Structure 1
Amino acid sequence: MIKKLLDQLEINVLNVELYTVGTEWRHTNVISPYSRLYYITKGQGFITQNKTRYLIEPGFMYLLPAFTRVDLFCPKSFTHYYIHFTTELPDGHNLFSIFDYSTKLNASEQGIEKNIFERLIQLNPGMELIERDANKPIYRSLLERHEMLNRDKTARSIIETNALMRLLIAPFIRIAGNESLNPRTGINRFEKVIKYINENISQPFSLKELARLANLNPSYFSSLFTKHMGISPIRYVNTKKVENAQRLLLSTTKTLDEIAYAAGFDDVFYFSRIFKKITGLPPALYRKQQQYI
């Protein structure tokens, strides 16, 4: 099951570049709809993720998965290769939502050298961030530019880019025991339920409806789902809906009412409450803050 899932992993590179940042690189509560990978060549900074503060230093790589909250701080300057990318599995999951992952790795110990990043830049010309003005939104234009540039890519560049990205991502996946082929037993056990949720994410769901798909009574289904997935079925549904809303907030000009409805919430006030509970920010503030980062 997991091998088949990973064979169909879709990786899209949105940006790749060698760049030096300064003291303007100071952001809190960053929750991006795409993942970030950094390889540091010079200087220092700090990343705070999952309540842990990491020193940014030369020779190390850093992974910041999509939809995880991070704080970014640069006291002076540092130079780094950065890659903004998405990883999507055929069942709709982000790769890093089903595997445990490391945040910081020594690149040379993983056999990773800067020539890999240089090759990615060669294979993906024009993929640097073209707008660095903090007063202008970037995510919507980023998606449009990505789509335009991808039209001219050759089969070779697509295959090689995918292979290099897998090479960079693989070391971050934590392996313990047999987890390499079974990171979340719940993915297998509730495959039908998860597929149904992802394919109908804009619709309302009831616990009874989801339990019926698993051929279980609601109480036992809720208990079993929580045990295997590490999250209750209702919170799982709300999390996926909020992730969808986050993409819409940054990639469209829809109103909050329209986004609430598109994400499967009948009430914009309930949508705002759930959104803030999961992301820590109300949707309007999230849109204003995140679109400039």
Structure 2
Amino acid sequence: MNYSFKLLHPFLYYKSGEFSSDIPWKHKQMYHQGDYEIIFCTKGPLYIQVGTTQYVLNANDVLFIPPYTNMFGYRLSTNPVNFYWLHFFAKHEHSLLEDRELSANLSAIASGSFASSINDKVILPDFFHVNEAGKILIFINQVLDVANSYRYSEQENDYLVTVFLIELSNTYLMQLSANQHFRSNKVDKIKEWIRANLSEDLTVEEVARTFQLHPDYLTRLFKRYTHRTTLQFINELKIETAKVLLLRTNLTVSQIASHSYFIDEKNFMRRFKKMTGLTPTEFRNAYIHTHLNNPRIDPKIPLPTQLEKRMDIKRNI
């Protein structure tokens, strides 16, 4: 079952954070009164029950929790856990979309075309796994950064949350279309091989030679199924690795260049600037404000007055 939202208005940001625990822990019982929640797990397993359904979340799993539902941890996590959490409101009630209703649009999505019946919607399932999580991490950190720093306009996070949910929806739909109808086993194998050998100084010619393909044919194959060239895919993987390291570690730029599989720091900085428009240091400084909570710091965040007025919600939260 999929939740579908019309993009007539931006979603309304409520609260967000990053949770981390290195001691045995389980989620406390909560009730969502009108607000939706997204949980993006980066380290698990995490055991959460929503209503009567039990979920096990591992790294890169996404859980969507609708309003007016009970949720709680049904089992203790004995390994360290880490996840992002984001609460938001929608001005228009969601509708439910069956998988079979969605399947008719997958062909257009897989070919990179607009699917006219759903391109004005955000569509998310209750649970799915993100194959490539780099962009999702960037978007959620941007939301946290803005939420925890002064902004003259209260609407900025509404639009950031909207963009984040569109990105989640795009990721889900692209994966769904590939999994159900248009998956190229050869391209999938090549992508996995590239990921496994990213530490090598890979060239398009070397990748093509490994799979006994002509380099030009390999590039055409990649463009057909991934909408990027082979070289663009290799460089994107390296840059996404660098982005995550910049956000989640205190490593120096030089160390990050090495850990991101670049031969030298200057080449890394040049490619990073070209792909992001920022230097690595500028990128890191752009996301310095975050809210991290843990088993000992679990703040209860009240609904902002201005949000309550805009939503016209008469509830106790």
TM-score category (smaller protein): 0.3 to 0.5
Mark the structure with the bigger radius of gyration. 2
Superposition TM-score, scaled by structure 2 size: 0.43
Superposition TM-score, scaled by structure 1 size: 0.46
Return the structure number with greater relative CO, CA threshold 8 A, min gap 6. Answer: 2
